[in-house]
Amino acid sequence: MSKNSNTSSHHAVASTGLTHQQTKDKTLVVGLTGGIGSGKSSASDWFAMQGIDIIDADVIAHEVVAKGSATLRKIQKKFGDWVISPAGNMDRAAVRSHVFTHPEALMELESITHPAIREAAKEQLAASTSAYVVLSAPLLIEAAEAGLANLCQRILVIDVHEDTQLARASLRDEQSATKIKAIMANQLSREVRNGHADDVIVNEADLAALHLQLQPLHQTYLTLAQQLKYAAD
């Protein structure tokens, strides 16, 4: 379902769905998010099949800490050589374990990685040539420091019930229910996440049903993208 453009959402206005401030950039950016097991990746894949450029924040997050990167050197300088594996990569398991037990360390880590992720996302947005762009991020709304939501003119949430999240994530990753619940607890509640959305799709059925819901949204985004380009000219 789509929220009516006459609502008080800060991402949309009644006439075109875009504010004057948002018309500075000629490219419409749709932020795509959803909790674990929601089907966000399936939605992202469908948009890609329509010829829409996808910017994946998870991919960027891995790229910015690649072996020899400036961001990885900053992390090493902040935390010590133990963050580097013998192969020269970031020891993700060690870092994950450390920040799990030291909340302040997570904040320090994010203060290094989030700006790098944002800058990389902005570079990819500038290089995009499709009618509009989808910026996919599981923590699009939660990670305020990364500022990814601020790069978007529209936010689409793929929503499912918690039981569905648990069932799908268990099948996909073979993770324990305890671990999946911990990930879910670290993400916003459905109500809060949906409250930030301009468009919400409930993905409780199969892929065909998901695609049927995405099709009209795609047409809406194409229209908004055209309006944005005209307004910016």
In terms of Cβ atoms closer than 10 Å to its own Cβ (0-12, 13-18, 19+), residue 206 is: exposed
Question: Which two three-digit tokens encode residue 46?
Answer: 């469908």
Chain segment 60-87, per-residue pLDDT in tens: 999 999 999 999 999 999 999 999 999 9
Model confidence pLDDT, tens digit, residues 176-220: 677 777 777 777 788 888 999 999 999 999 999 999 999 999 999
How far from chain centre, in Å, is Cα 76?
Answer: 26
Question: Hey, how many other C-beta atoms are within 10 angstroms of the C-beta on 122?
Answer: 14
Q: Is the full-model pTM beyond 0.85?
A: no
Minimum mean pLDDT range among 9-13, 24-28, 94-98, 121-125: 9-13
Give the pLDDT score at 145: 59
10 Å CB burial of residue 63 (0-12, 13-18, 19+) is middle
Residue 145 carries which side chain, given as an amino acid letter? E
8 Å CB contact between 44 and 33 = no
Bridge partners for 154 per DSSP: 30
